Amino acid sequence: MTEPSLALAYSTNVHPARGTAALVGEVVPAAGRVRALAGEAAMALDLHLDARTAHAFDEEDGQLDALAEALAAEGLHVASVNAFPLGEFHAPRVKDAVYRPDWSEPERLEATLAAARVLARLLAPGGMGYVSTLTGTYALWPDAAEREAACAGGLAACARALAELGDRTDRRVALALEPEPFTTAERTGEAVRHIDRVRDAAGEAGATLLGLNLDLCHLAVGFEGPKAALDAAGAAGVPILGLHASAAPVVPRPGENKPAIAALGRFDEPRWLHPVYGCDASGRVVLREPDLGLFLDRSPRLMKEIAEARCHFHVPLAWPGDALLGTTRDLTAEALRLALAADEPPRVVAETYTWNALPGAGDLAEGLAAEIRWIRAVLAG
C-alpha cells in the first residue's frame, strides 16, 4: 500500500505583482525559481487572484492560455486559488480593507466565481480544486451584525453556482472558508456551525462544495490546538480542503518581559492587521487586541495575568525563534503530521505572505524554498 502524502504548494499572495501580465511574466518565473531551490521536481501553486485579475483572466482567453503555458514551462500547476484578499493586498495600508468586499456584497460573489472559473480551466478534466475565502465579514465593523445574514446568503449562492460550474466543466471547484481572528468565525467550531447554516440554503449539490481552509497561524493565535480543530471538523463531516502552514511569534510572560515586548515591536508595521491574543496560566484566553500596536500600548501592569501572548504575524517556518521570542511552529508541525494521517489529506500551502515586511528579510525565493524544505522535513520525520 502506498504511503499517503500531502500535496504541497505555496501561496503567491506573497508577491506584490498584480494583473495578468505581471502574473505570467513575473510571478510564475519567480515561482519556478522557488521550485528549483526547494528541490521539487514539480510543484503546485496556491494562486492569489485579486478581483481585477480574476475578472481579466476570466474574460481574456489569450491571457489564461499564456498563464497555463508559463506554468507548464516552470514545472508548476495550480491546484487552488486564494481569493481571500480581493483588493490591493500589498497597498501601503490595508488593515481591515482586506475584508472588503465581504460576503454581504455582490462584488465578493462575482469575483470569487470569476476566480473559480479560472481555476476550473486550469484543472485537468475530472480534476478538483478549491478557492479559499473569508467566512463572512469583519466582526469589528459597526454594522457587522446586520451583514451576517447577507453573508450567509452570498456564500450559499456561491456554492450553488459552483455546483453548476462542475456540471458544465467536469471540474469540481469547492469553497474553503478560513476562520480568522475578529471575523464571522474565529475558531473551527464556529466555522463548522456557520457552514451548517450555509449548507441549508446551498442546496444538496452546493452543500457538498463547502469546506475549510485552516490557517495554522490563526489557530495558534486563538490558542486552538490542531487536534481539537481537526476533530471538530471531522465530527461535523466538514472536509478540511487546505492547511495554510504558518507560524506566529510568541512572547512569554509579557507583563514582566520588556525585552521580548520590544522584540515583538519590530513586527509592528502599517500594512496589515496583526491581532494579539494572550492566555493565562490555565490556557484561558484573557486578552484579545485587534492589532499589534494596541497591544504594545498596554502597560505591563495590565498584562500581569498573561502567561503567553501570540501575534498574528506569519513568521518563517524555518526560523526557530531566538532568545526573546518563540514561535508556534511546533504546533504547525503537529498539525501537518495529523493531517498526513487523515484518510484524505488536505493540500498544504506555505503562506508566509509577510515576507516583505519581515525585519531583515533576505532573498524571497530562498526564504520560500526554506519553508517548503522545512515542511518536507517535518513530514519525513
Whether the CB-CB separation of 102 and 30 falls below 8 Å is answered with: no
Would the pLDDT of 182 be above 80? yes
Q: What is the pLDDT of residue 4?
A: 41
Write out the three cell numbers for 138.
Answer: 469583519
Q: Exposure pattern of 52-73 as b/e (b: 16+ CB <10 Å)?
A: bbbbbbbeeeebbebbeebbee
> Is the pLDDT confidence value at 171 over 90?
yes
**pLDDT value at position 5?**
55
By the 10 Å C-beta count (0-12 exposed, 13-18 middle, 19+ buried), 333 is classed as buried
Give the H/E segment covering residue 78. strand 76-82
Could you tell me the three cell numbers for 117?
Answer: 472559473
**Cα 127 from Cα 380, distance rounded (Å):** 27
Q: How confident is the model at residue 361 (pLDDT cuts 50, 70, 90)?
A: confident
Most distant pair of Cα atoms in the chain: their distance: 61
Name the average pLDDT for the chain: 95
| 8-246+328-380 carries CATH number 2.40.50.140 | no
In the chain, alpha helices (H) = 20-22, 28-38, 51-59, 61-73, 106-122, 144-169, 188-207, 216-221, 226-236, 258-264, 292-296, 329-340, 364-380
Query: Who's near 341: CB < 8 A, 6+ residues apart?
Result: 4
Amino acid at 257: N
Report domain extents, the chain: 8-246+328-380, 249-313
Q: Which residue has the cell 526564504?
A: 367
For range 298-313, the mean pLDDT: 92
Cis-peptide into 101, omega within 30 deg = yes
| Confidence check: pLDDT of 23 > 50 | yes
User: Does residue 1 have a pLDDT over 50?
Assistant: no
Instruction: Report pLDDT for 369.
Output: 97
Digit-coded pLDDT (tens) for 109-126: 999 999 999 999 999 999
**Is the pLDDT confidence value at 243 over 50?**
yes
d(CA 27, CA 25): 6
> How confident is residue 381, by pLDDT bands cut at 50, 70 and 90?
confident
Q: Average of pLDDT values for 126-151?
A: 96
Instruction: Count how many residues are written for the chain.
Output: 381
- Closest CA relative to residue 102, chosen from 145, 161, 53: 145
For residue 260, CA distances in Å to 6, 250, 290, 313 come to 35, 9, 20, 15
C-alpha cell of residue 25: 511574466
Model pTM?
A: 0.96
Residues 6+ apart with CB under 8 A from 214: 178, 179, 188, 229, 233, 240, 242, 243, 244, 335, 346
**Rounded Cα gap, residues 331 and 333, in angstroms:** 5
Tell me the average pLDDT across 65-80: 97
Q: What is the mean pLDDT of residues 260-289?
A: 97
Residue 3 has pLDDT above 50, yes or no: no
pLDDT at 137 over 50: yes
Reported as a single tens digit per residue, the pLDDT across 202-221 is: 999 999 999 999 999 999 99
Q: Which residues pair with 172 in a beta bridge?
A: 128
C-alpha cell read off for 370: 526554506
Instruction: Give the separation between CA 125 and CA 171, rounded to whole angstroms.
Output: 6
Mean pLDDT of 134-160: 97
